[in-house]
Structure 1
Amino acid sequence: MLVLAVDVSRSVDEDEARLQREGYRNAVSDPAVVEAIRGGMIGAVGLAYVEWAGAEYQRLVLPWLRIASAADATAWSERLAEAPRASLSWTSISGALDFSLRMLNEAPFEATRRVIDVSGDGVNNSGGAVDVARDRVVAEGITINGLPIVNDRPTFGRMPSVPLDDYYRDNVIGGPGAFVVVAEDFNSFGNAVKRKLIREIAALPNPAAG
């Protein structure tokens, strides 16, 4: 099972938010990703899509769906295109992790591997400590992967004290096989998402309806 947890804080402008949505829509419905879903030991993937900003804002945009075919992936992509968008202040990666953990624990699937895929363009500046939230998630056997987006104006112009990819490696990702894929900017986000999904899905066992 895979939760896609996507940053919609104010450092992500309207065009960038559109590029993020398009990146996920195009990646999930891409033939190479569908082939990864259907091939080998996988067969299907349980997918949920969450958008988040500050500690008080996490939203389940698309609830759990079982993707097992190109038709499923296309339908998922079309639903995401129709969903309304919102943008709020602050960046709470910790809040996103806690919310995603609840989504995984409430999922209608049984799975031996559960993954949270966090994408964002800034560091945690709202809510609890991100490393504490990470450790709480990892303690339940869940893997957290990261997709940091290099942005020239993240978190209202306050640049992180370390490169964002290093921040994600040190504070955000965790669990078996955890990794980071860097999007150099929002324009390259779609390709980064595609690479990341193929790598993640290749390791996910087939979810069974519970």
Structure 2
Amino acid sequence: MVHFTSSLRGVRHCLLVIFSFMNFPALAQTNLSLPPQVDLQLILAIDCSYSVDQYEYIQQMQGIAYALNSKEIREAVQLGHHQKIALTLIQWSSSSNQDVVLPWTLIGPPGSFEAVAAEIARLPRSVPIGSTSLSAVIAQSIHIFNRSPFHSSRRTLDISGDGRNNDGIPVHYLRDVAVKNNITINGLAIVNDIPTLDSYFRSQVTGGFNSFVIKANSYDDYRQAIVQKLVREIGNLPVAGGPALPARP
């Protein structure tokens, strides 16, 4: 009964997002004061569901910290017109468990890469383990983008996960709402338990301008996969190994 009630709350939350954000672009135009400009607003969504043990959680957090300290990520940020991005992290599991563990943070100024990487590396696991609700984390991310103190021409939700949506409403409904509101969803599919998970992410989870999926065979491969993924997202590369798109004003 507890699980059913929790799932029902998650379904209600997702449905409210669908209806309340259908007119988001029009509402955004009424905001007369523009927030600080960045090249990209990026949400990293970290899987903390039942299938993720403590070692696998640590691999994700240390992988992100490693990426932010890498030369490749610094160079990708410098490709942008503003040479700055805004980043936030969500830990997620079931439809009622999403937690913002790193609020919107500016990356680009001197010292910011090292400081944010160090903070991420020591973040504890804060959400209860639970089912896998990709739909709920997308719904929560739409709210987070709407409350962002920054402005950018690109908004990207980067979801890491090792399972299919099994809690809340079907994930593609929320994927479509996000895409209609100019949010790109990319996926990092960790296929240690489900070999075809990358195909599932492509068909059901990811969408929007230049969306893509990176596959990691295990959590031990997460570090290199997240570097590849962030370089492509931040540098705005439409095809792996292809040229970067011109920076937008």
TM-score, normalising length: structure 1: 0.90
Query: Bigger relative contact order, structure 1 or 2, given CA contacts below 8 A and separation 6+?
Result: 1
Give the Cα separation in 1 of the matches to 2:179 and 2:79. 27
- Counterpart of 1:173 in structure 2 is 206
Q: 1:82 aligns with which of 115, 122, 125?
A: 122
Aligned to 2:187: 146
Cα distance change, pair 79–206 in 1 and its aligned pair in 2 (3 A) = farther
Distance of aligned partners of 1:103 and 1:183 in 2 relative to their CA distance in 1, 3 Å threshold: same
Q: Partners in 2 of 1:180 and 1:102 — Cα distance? A: 23
1:127 is aligned to: 168
Per-residue CA deviations over 1:146-170 (Å, capped at 9, x if unaligned) read 1010123xxxxxx5xx810110000
Contact 1:19–1:189 (8 Å) recurs in 2: yes
Letter paired with 1:136: V
Q: 3-state DSSP class of the match of 1:9?
A: coil
Deviation string for 1:127-179 (max 9, x for gaps)? 11100010011110110001010123xxxxxx5xx810110000000001100
Which segments of 5 or more consecutive residues in structure 2 lack a partner in the other structure? Answer: 1-40, 238-246
Structure 1's unaligned 5+ residue stretches are 153-158
The 3 A distance-change label for structure 1 pair 62 and 68 is same
Assess if the C-alpha contact under 8 Å between 1:20 and 1:186 holds in 2: yes
Structure 1 residue aligned with 2:158: 117
Partner of residue 81 from structure 2, selected from 24, 38, 41: 41
From the CA coordinates, give the structure whose radius of gyration is larger.
2
- Write out per-residue CA displacement over residues 8-35 of structure 1, whole angstroms, 9 at most, x where no aligned residue: 1110011111101111111122111011
**Counterpart Cα distance in 2 of 1:88 and 1:63:** 21
Q: Please, what is the CA RMSD of the aligned residues? A: 1.7
Residue matched to 1:63: 103
CA distances 1:55-77 after superposition (whole Å, capped 9, x unpaired): 00000010001101451011111
Segments of 4+ moved more than 6 angstroms: none
Please report how far the alpha carbon of residue 39 of structure 1 lies from its aligned counterpart in structure 2 after TM superposition: 2.7
Identity of aligned residues (%): 38
Letter matched to residue 70 of structure 2? D
CA contact (8 A) 1:46 1:65 kept: yes
Indicate how the Cα distance of structure 1 residues 95 and 26 shifts in structure 2: closer, same or farther if over 3 A, else same.
same
1: distance between equivalents of 2:82 and 2:188? 22
Deviation string, structure 1 residues 82-122 (Cα, Å, up to 9, x no partner): 32214411000001101111111111001111000011000
Q: CA deviation at 1:40?
A: 4.4
State how far apart, in whole Å, the 1-side matches of 2:106 and 2:181 are: 22
Aligned partner of 1:14 in structure 2 is: 54
Equivalent residues of 1:4, 1:116 under 8 A apart: yes
